[in-house]
Amino acid sequence: MAPSRLAARWVALGFAAVIAAVLAGLTIGPAGVPAGRALAEVADHIPFVDVDSGLSRSQAAIVWDVRLPRVVLGLLVGAMLGLAGGAYQGVFRNPLADPYLLGVAAGAGLGATLAIVSGLSDVSGPLDPLPLAAFAGALSAVALTYLVGAGGEERRSPATLILAGVAIAALLTAVQTFVQQRHADTIRQVYAWILGRLTTVGWSEVGVMLPYVVVVSVVVLLLRRSLDVLAVGDEEATSLGLPVDRIRTIVVVAASLGTAAAVATSGLIGFVGLVVPHTVRLLGGRSYRTILPMSILLGGAFLVGADLLARTVISPAEVPIGVITAFFGAPFFVVLLRTRRAGPV
Amino acid sequence: MSVPALTDAASPAIAVAGVYVNIGKACLLHDVTFEVARGDWLSIIGPNGAGKTTLLRALAGGRRSEGSVIVGGADPARLRPRDRAALVAVVAQEPMLPDRMRVADYVLLGRTRFVPMFGVESTTDLDVAGEMLQLVDLAGMGNRPLETLSGGERRRVAIARALAQDTPMLLLDEPTTSLDVGHQQEVLDLVDHLCRTQGLTVISTMNDLTLAGHYSHRLLLLHRGRAVAEGDVADVLTADIVASVYGARVRLIDTPDGPAVVPTRRGHLAPVDPAEQEGS
């Protein structure tokens, strides 16, 4: 008698994908730094490792202060979105659930728009208030959704919360559109933010993102068995002894916090949170013991790969990364859906 | 763990007194009173909409009710899910069997009350789940996806999950619905075996009156939310009671296992061969 566990070959595949994405992200770029030397430069920063990369100061700075933080941020944001999507799909037993389900996107969009039109975000650098405004907007939206959707003793169901999210998102999007129309001069700026990007200012964004990814991953991964129990529905899960409401609240709060942090640092990058967990589910089975850790690894690898394309296809200009994730994610997912037996959540 | 102990051996496993369930203006249960002794098998019978499943839900603590529901010495509606899961295991009428979930993983769900919220199953949990699969005669099928099981196997795997919960009481909602006669017997024989060997207290809702009478020890007949008859099979299953409550034309034929309830055609009262009709 053996339970389904995370298979070693999946872990190996996940780490292989992450390593491949990181190596590509570090070595490919417009600055013409030789690949081997770029890797040597990174290795030189590992404690007790002393390698002479032979790069000039500016080349070394490109590798260490531009490419590496961007790659690491891509890993963190992709991991967060993949994990949050998988977690939402689990607690809501809804295959369409994505990290932006409960109004996170609309709230962040409104927050960011307000920051941009008010001119606050003209301060650039680590003191940029735009991410803070987006973060505050995202959290307020989720709080509002929860207040509306989970309030009231009776008739509380996961569907109520999702519908409340749809309503709040519509409301906030309306406000955001109105504000945007009133300030047409900033429309490009707002638009660029909404489509998402992984530009970094040194390591500060990574520093913001890292604690969220660590804490949220630990909390949600510890609840992986509970998410499997939820597959039999709220009533049966409760009769098995699972505190369903408490589990759902913990997972939703954790995933929403993480998503808000991701949105604040890199805008609204679509499709990762929807497609990555479903891809894992189609290939590796329905247990969240596999779906959650693999969504972390493959979400990170996917986003780093997408970012590589975003900054190279029309170099030196950049394509918004949200365009890349949808352009490549959608056809891939369609092929997968048609060739694999579709499994519900 | 603060599981209410079944302290006194003489006290009933279940004591329901003056229970009402109202939803809006609809009265689903009206002043229902009965007791179930430990190790007994009570079947709740009654026409569609009589309140059978509602009563089962009230016993499982999933339905708020007025009056007194005492299960294993406690009111199930007031217990935390984990404590309630230590008292009663429920097999739903149509258990949700998630696609692509393996049989072993499904049975292990029954061990949820033994697993810490932030944890996974222990080796004890794995051993127990394996034993239960053996008990319901599904050993060796642990790796099968649930959707590949037959109707009878699906019921048995759901019962295995309930048994893995290791409770003194088992609630079964329509355990034989949509099964053919062979699978019906297979499932009820299993429950009967468990009732005898493990001392389980069993409450089931049943649509098939003959099977209800043959297998369970006592019957509770509900009609429009009221308990209209309760007691030994012979006292509840009479042609008069069935005719008035179900509005059905039936004749009762004595068999060695108890009465067989046989529906008759309008204006057609030809003698029926009991051997042929048994267990239908």
- Per-position DSSP letters for chain B, written without gaps between them: --PPP---TTS-SEEEEEEEEEETTEEEEEEEEEEE-TT-EEEEE-STTSSHHHHHHHHTT-S--EEEEEETTB-GGGS-HHHHHHHEEEE-SS----TT-BHHHHHHHGGGGGS-TT----HHHHHHHHHHHHHTT-TT-TTSBGGGS-HHHHHHHHHHHHHHT--SEEEEESTTTT--HHHHHHHHHHHHHHHHHH--EEEEE-S-HHHHHHH-SEEEEEETTEEEEEEEHHHH--HHHHHHHH---EEEEEETTEEEEEE--TT------HHHHTT-
Residues in chain B: 280
| DSSP result, A140-152 | HHHHHHHHHHS-S
B95 touches A: beta carbon within 8 Å: yes
- Of A2-11, A68-77, A284-293, least confident by mean pLDDT is A2-11
Omega within 30 of 0 (cis) for the link into B98: no
**CB-CB contact of A93 with A227 (8 Å):** no
Q: Where are the domains of chain B?
A: 14-279
pLDDT greater than 50 at residue A110: yes
pLDDT per residue of chain B (280 residues) written in tens, 0 to 9: 444 444 555 688 999 999 999 988 888 999 999 999 999 999 999 999 999 999 999 999 877 889 999 998 899 989 999 999 999 999 998 899 998 899 999 999 999 999 998 889 999 999 999 999 998 889 989 999 999 998 889 999 999 999 999 999 999 999 998 888 888 998 899 999 989 998 899 999 999 999 999 999 999 999 999 999 999 999 999 988 999 999 888 889 999 988 999 988 876 555 555 555 544 4
Reported as a pLDDT band with limits 50, 70 and 90, residue A21 is very high
- In this structure, which topology does domain B14-279 adopt according to CATH? Rossmann fold (3.40.50)
And the tokens for B70?
């005492």
Residues of chain A in contact with residue B112, where contact means CB-CB under 8 angstroms, are 229, 237, 240-242
The reply to whether residue A241 touches residue B112, judged by beta carbons under 8 angstroms, is: yes
CA distances from A226 to A28, A250, B149 (A): 42, 11, 24
Chain A interface mutation, best of B102, B106, B136, B171, highest count of A Cβ atoms under 10 Å: B102
- Tell me chain A's radius of gyration from C-alpha atoms: 21
A2 touches B: beta carbon within 8 Å: yes
And the tokens for B261?
């309830």
Q: Measured between alpha carbons, how far is B102 from A202 in angstroms, rounded to an integer?
A: 47
Q: Measured between alpha carbons, how far is A272 from A77 in angstroms, rounded to an integer?
A: 10
- Type of residue numbered A221: L
Give Cα A145 distance to the centre of its chain. Answer: 20
Residues of chain A in contact with residue B120, where contact means CB-CB under 8 angstroms, are 3, 224-225, 289
| Tens-place pLDDT, residues A224-279 | 999 999 999 988 999 999 999 899 989 998 998 899 889 888 888 988 999 999 99
pLDDT at position A340: 66
Contact residues, A window 236-265, toward B, CB-based 8 Å cutoff: 236-244, 247
The single residue listed with the structure tokens 């890292």 is A210
Q: Measured between alpha carbons, how far is B150 from B170 in angstroms, rounded to an integer?
A: 22
**pTM of the full predicted structure?**
0.87
Tell me how crowded residue B2 is: count the other CB atoms within 10 A of its CB: 10
**CB-CB contact of B55 with B67 (8 Å):** no
pLDDT at position B2: 43
Reported as a pLDDT band with limits 50, 70 and 90, residue A332 is confident
- Looking at every residue in chain A, the average pLDDT score rounds to 87
**CB-CB contact of A51 with A43 (8 Å):** yes
Tell me how crowded residue A218 is: count the other CB atoms within 10 A of its CB: 12
Instruction: Judge if ipTM > 0.95.
Output: no
Among A104, A100, A110, residue whose Cα is nearest residue A172: A110
| DSSP result, A224-243 | HHHHHHGGG-HHHHHHTT--
Tell me how close the Cα of B142 comes to any Cα of chain A, in angstroms: 7
| Helix-strand-coil split of chain A, %, nearest 5 | 75, 0, 25
Q: Measured between alpha carbons, how far is B157 from B142 in angstroms, rounded to an integer?
A: 10
Contact residues, A window 259-298, toward B, CB-based 8 Å cutoff: 285-287, 289
**CB-CB contact of B15 with B70 (8 Å):** yes
Residues of chain B in contact with residue A229, where contact means CB-CB under 8 angstroms, are 109, 112
Q: Measured between alpha carbons, how far is A284 from A303 in angstroms, rounded to an integer?
A: 20
Q: Measured between alpha carbons, how far is A88 from A196 in angstroms, rounded to an integer?
A: 21
Contact residues, A window 117-156, toward B, CB-based 8 Å cutoff: none
- The 3-state DSSP class for residue A1 equals coil
And the tokens for A85?
């999507």
Q: Measured between alpha carbons, how far is B167 from A264 in angstroms, rounded to an integer?
A: 49
What residue in B sits closest to A240 (Cα-Cα)?
Answer: B85
The single residue listed with the structure tokens 């034309």 is B249
Out of A238, A243, A286, the one facing B98 most closely (by C-beta) is A286
Q: What angle do CA B81, B87, B88 make, to 5 degrees?
A: 85
**Burial (CB count <10 Å: 0-12, 13-18, 19+), residue A343:** middle
